[in-house]
Structure 1
Amino acid sequence: MQPVFADPKTDFVFKRIFGAEARKPLLIALLNHLLELDGERRILDVQHLSSDQHVGVAELKLSIVDVKCTDATGRRFVVEMQVLKVEGFEKRVVYNASKAYVMQLRNADEYPALCDVVGVTICNFNLWTDRDERGRLKVPMLSRWRMQEQHSGGRGLSQVQYAFLELPKYAAGDAPETLVDKWAYFFREAKNLNVVPPALSEGPFRDALEVARTATFSPEEWEAYERAKMAEQDARGALAVARQEGVAEGHRSGLAEGHRSGLAEGHKSGKAEAILAVLATRGIPADEATRARILGCSDAAVLDRWLARAVTANAAKDVTDPP
């Protein structure tokens, strides 16, 4: 049976809610609430970046919406929904925000013209799991990050900042009260709801649910949504295969070369097999040359990029030699 609401964490639905020009108020509300902006600090309008300004990084980032805010400060925001935790994820977040900062320079523009950038990332996994002596998480569900002087604790160099919403840390149940809790509840539970719950019955939360209501999808949109869900499942399966193959190969290689080096080699081998498994699952044949190149690659970072491309590639050669 078709669900009442589509999963807002998927690429298609996330962009349908927050990436459309006609639904800018939803994106504005999300940013104001997650960045805890009020009064004169509130964002009043946003302008979506053109496609040639998007940061192009071939990773397993299943959703990304880049926006430029036209508030009084001219700040720019990189807003992202990240479903799967992949190797180098935190570095990629820093890269995306830094690239958005640098890309503002055009021709005769000079450094004083650069505006601040804030990376806003919603994660469907825990990034920071350390706890204090009382068992409480050291980093809360919504965390904000900026430069700090190590001796005095003074804050500065605020040009690039970050905000993270870690959905697994949500603990308010079915009765969220704060605006941040309501967004976390929306992202976590929308796909499981049959009706609009009281907690999400007003303001941007109800509007976001209405956009995610599957009854409003055209047949083409429903097909796009199902493809996005399949891509997520393929990616999860590929990562699981990589881990399993990596552990198995690691044990075998470890007998001869030591556990640590063997496990590393096993992970690489597992990733290569995972790439081919994703292609096979999607019905995309791999010719011998492409197959040999994938299996012969020993660079873990390259294999990660190829695994990400395998989820959406139209042909096997697009994995190792994208158009």
Structure 2
Amino acid sequence: MSERALRRIPLEKFMDLKVDYSFKQLFGSEKNKKITVVFLNAILQRTGRQVIKEVAFTSQEVGGEYHSDKQSRLDILVRTQEDELINIEVQLANQYDMVKRTLYYWARVYNLQLEKGKGYHTLLPTITINICNFGLFNQTEKFHNIFHLCEREEKFRMDDVMEIHFIEMNKFIKQWYEKKLKPWDDVLARWLLLLGMVDGRKKKVYNEIYEELEMLAMEDKNLQDAFGVWQDLSRSREEVLAYESRLKYIMDEEARLDDAKYFAEKEGHQKGLEAGRKEGIEKGIEQGIEEGMKKVAKKMMKKGKSNEEIMELTDLTLDEVEALRANNANH
């Protein structure tokens, strides 16, 4: 396959697939269901009898139980042929709530299964996949971490109902550049290269990643098909306008959060200075009073006053008065 056959538009025209809108157009569409299945099997490492063969896209609305709750819309939610529910979320900007938000979404999706009149034994595994364009876990260099409910010491699973995946794209790209990955042998690495080729926020395309994808697509028909769909999306005027609108919103929100953090830190710093200044003045006054009382005590000692008289007038302790007497005697 020639480069011309793989790529029909300039590289800089490609959408960033880490933006939730473009991600959903590629992986959340009924007409691209085969691509979704291959992608899920790669992430979940399904082989043999466990492989996902079919998915059905289901309602993405997760409502709140309380009147004040807002409707939440999941990125992609599918049900497999085994009735497992799989939610895929892609997050471009770090809003510092990813773990708690994930647990909330997982719980809401798990709850969707329980229909009136059915027992808890009917609840099937629910899987959440998070693709993050930022670092999340400092405890490990792994870019793909999988969590279950496990006993703390012996590590056996309490149940198989919970499975949560976090994929950190920044770690993945770093390890790819360091040649620690083998996309020719690792199907997931190929798909993550697809997601990592474009950085919409920086308006940057990684040509080195494209070159490897081009070679990989010669051997991987599914990857080649995904590339074709991606190009079609990226040259559709309507899709591009929707994508750019969503990217702008995400970047505006990120800027707003940065501004809020900056002004909060600035205000906190100013309050800290004021508190420090006030504390310093108070300590200065206390120290001045203490020094003044010691001078009075020394004069009283010269006049032959007793420890009790000095303590009563100056509020110094007995130890402090005796220490002053000893100091005067040495001098």
- Both proteins in one fold, TM over 0.5: yes
SS across alignment from 1:210: helix
SS across alignment from 1:165: strand
Amino acid at match of 1:22: K
The residue aligned with 2:76 is: 65
Q: Displacement, 1:13?
A: 0.8
Amino acid at match of 2:151: E
The residue aligned with 1:176 is: 183
Correspondence for 1:115 among 124, 148, 152: 124
Matches within 5 A, 1:294-313: none
Q: Deviations over 1:20-68 (max 9, x none)?
A: 11111111111100110000000011111124x4467869x99711111
Judged with a 3 Å threshold, the aligned counterparts in structure 2 of structure 1 residues 66 and 3 are, in CA distance, closer, same or farther, namely same
SS across alignment from 1:224: helix
Matches of 1:225 and 1:65, distance apart in 2? 17
SS across alignment from 2:149: coil
Do structure 1's residue 25 and structure 2's residue 40 form an aligned pair?
no
Q: 1:190–1:209: 8 Å Cα contact kept in structure 2?
A: no
Do structure 1's residue 234 and structure 2's residue 255 form an aligned pair?
no
Q: 2:15–2:234: 8 Å Cα contact kept in structure 1?
A: no
Matches of 1:76 and 1:112, distance apart in 2? 16
Judged with a 3 Å threshold, the aligned counterparts in structure 2 of structure 1 residues 121 and 215 are, in CA distance, closer, same or farther, namely closer
Amino acid at match of 2:75: I
SS across alignment from 1:242: helix
The residue aligned with 1:38 is: 47
Q: Deviations over 1:180-228 (max 9, x none)?
A: 2112211111462577521344233222222221576432222111101
Judged with a 3 Å threshold, the aligned counterparts in structure 2 of structure 1 residues 257 and 38 are, in CA distance, closer, same or farther, namely farther
Matches of 2:187 and 2:15, distance apart in 1? 21
Matches of 1:215 and 1:119, distance apart in 2? 26
Structure 1 spans left out of the alignment, 5+ residues = 131-137, 259-323
Matches of 1:164 and 1:205, distance apart in 2? 22
Identity %: 24
Query: Aligned residue pairs: how many?
Result: 248
Normalised TM-score (structure 2): 0.68
Q: 2:102–2:128: 8 Å Cα contact kept in structure 1?
A: yes
The residue aligned with 2:222 is: 204
The residue aligned with 2:153 is: 151
Do structure 1's residue 10 and structure 2's residue 12 form an aligned pair?
no
Matches of 1:213 and 1:54, distance apart in 2? 31
Structure 2 spans left out of the alignment, 5+ residues = 1-9, 200-204, 277-331
Correspondence for 1:243 among 254, 257, 261: 261
SS across alignment from 2:167: strand
Q: Displacement, 1:106?
A: 1.8
Q: Displacement, 1:3?
A: 2.5
Matches of 1:222 and 1:10, distance apart in 2? 12
Q: 1:6–1:214: 8 Å Cα contact kept in structure 2?
A: no
Answer with 145-154 or 194-203: which moved more: 194-203
The residue aligned with 2:137 is: 128
Correspondence for 1:166 among 142, 151, 168: 168
Larger radius of gyration, structure 1 or 2? Answer: 2
Q: Displacement, 1:88?
A: 2.1
Answer with 227-236 or 195-204: which moved more: 195-204
